[in-house]
Amino acid sequence: MESKKYSISLSRFALLVLIISGLSKGAVAADTAKKIERLKDAVVKIHTTSTPPDYFTPWSLLNAKQSSGSGSVIRGNRILTNAHVVADATYIQAQKHGDPRKYLARVAFVSHEADLALLEVEDPSFFKGLRPLKIGDLPEPLQEVSVFGYPFGGTTLSITKGILSRVEHQFYAHAGGYLLAGQIDAAINPGNSGGPVIVDNRIAGVVMQANTSGRAENLGYFVPPSVIKHVLKDAEDGQHDGFPDLGFRSQELDSPAMRQAYGVADRRGGMLVAHVFEGSPADGKLLPNDVIVAIDGYKIADDSSIEFRKNLRTNFKYAIDQYHRGDNVDIYLVRAGEEMKVTLQVAPGHRNYSLVRPQQFEQIPQYLIYGGVVFVPLNMNLIKRWGRDWHRQAPVSFLHARNSRSSTEKQELVVALKVLAADVNLGYHDWKNWILSSVNGEPIRDFEQFCRLVLENQHEFTTLLDDQGYQMVINHAEAVATEAQILARYRVPRANGCQLTSESEPQGLR
């Protein structure tokens, strides 16, 4: 009898355990669902109308286009998204999950290099009831992540899952920045851009454009937390300083002969300083043929990589990317067999060390029409005007010029883009995409100086020369006299788009 009672008690206990377990699982499920809803509320859809300039006809704009992207609400009532989602935007709206209303927004800060932007919404009620997301840490390889966003093909929020497959420095597709990036196998489509990659209810990345030249791949890329945090700190004073460039270029040092020649054959790692730019933070402190063995405590391998996390390696630039304007960076090197340390102070990364300027946004293109010839500075905006396949479609001379280093004497290249046919330029009607080197024997330093040389010309003729000795000669008086007629014929509003920095422009074309 007692055995029977004991059996009944056990059954009741087991039933009680099952009930409690079920309640516990239900509570966990309810809590998880609540957290997901909070995440959904913090992910917004961004509607953009953009009107970029046409660098083939720099006095005009391309047709306005509408696009959409994603973003997430972070601390300070700001929306974190991609820079390319709002680049060249003339009108921006933000829309909350489950809310049909669209709120007017504006760009508060943008880092095109890192493909990140911060938006503000004018109506404070937009943020009512929203819990901002915190910035988390970089996931571990093979760790599962969730991607939130509003991809094309629907209007509601989409959530996909994947794993982190790779982390290393990549060239960002938007503006060509070379920064740390994460790669995941989650499904990412147009419209997902700017949406958060979530791990443990925190932002572990921001989805960005893939640099795949249009090839379809089952891969997605995101801006990692270290880059996000750098941009957020940069934004604190409202002034864009960007990521530092200390002003030197390096070469891998995996050749045994080179290691022996530069006195590091008996040690592992290191990279060779190949060039130091004049006026840069490295000028006068680093020398060509120095062997850099460590930066800020990160040992550099002979392939120029560092271990930034256990068993994870990336380009040495990671050690520099963490710094901001005014910070000091310790460089450990070997010079002529002697070990030493030098300290470089980070300066804003505004100087361009290439003759081809990087792609710019929200800028008015510079140009000069003189004698019916359209002159422009050579930059990535112009090169990318050849379309998504610009790597093969743009002029070869333009592509080669990207590898040319700037100097104090030569900081920018000037191009005769095309000729608006007229009597004054007879003989040159088919000239196009021609890179110049001098004006009346004066070497061209940059586009502003080029404009001054042309507009202040006191000679009868303006002789334009390239590096191969080919010439274009224009009668100056005739160029000035026929300017209005040429502008009217080709419906160009003005000839001078040089944007000279001095308060008084030189006398000449207007």
Residues designated as active site: 84, 115, 193
* Integer Cα distance of 359 and 355 in angstroms: 13
For the chain, the C-alpha Rg in angstroms (whole number) is 29
- The answer for 241, left when phi > 0, alpha when psi is -120 to 50, beta otherwise, is alpha
Asked if 211 and 172 touch (Cβ cutoff 8 Å), the reply is yes
Nearest to 127 by CA among 74, 206, 201, 194: 74
The structure tokens listed for 420 are 């608006």
**CB atoms closer than 10 angstroms to residue 326:** 10
**CB atoms closer than 10 angstroms to residue 404:** 12
The structure tokens listed for 5 are 């009672």
Give the sign of the dihedral formed by CA 52, CA 56, CA 59, CA 60: negative
Composition of the chain by helix, strand, coil, percent to 5: 25, 35, 45
Strand, coil or helix: 473: strand
* Integer Cα distance of 156 and 166 in angstroms: 29
For residue 202, which phi and psi values (nearest 5 degrees)?
A: -125, 160
Kindly give the pairing relationship between strand 271-276 and strand 78-81.
unpaired
Strand, coil or helix: 301: coil
Amino acid letter, 434: W
Kindly give the pairing relationship between strand 438-439 and strand 291-295.
unpaired
**CB atoms closer than 10 angstroms to residue 270:** 25
* Integer Cα distance of 17 and 11 in angstroms: 10
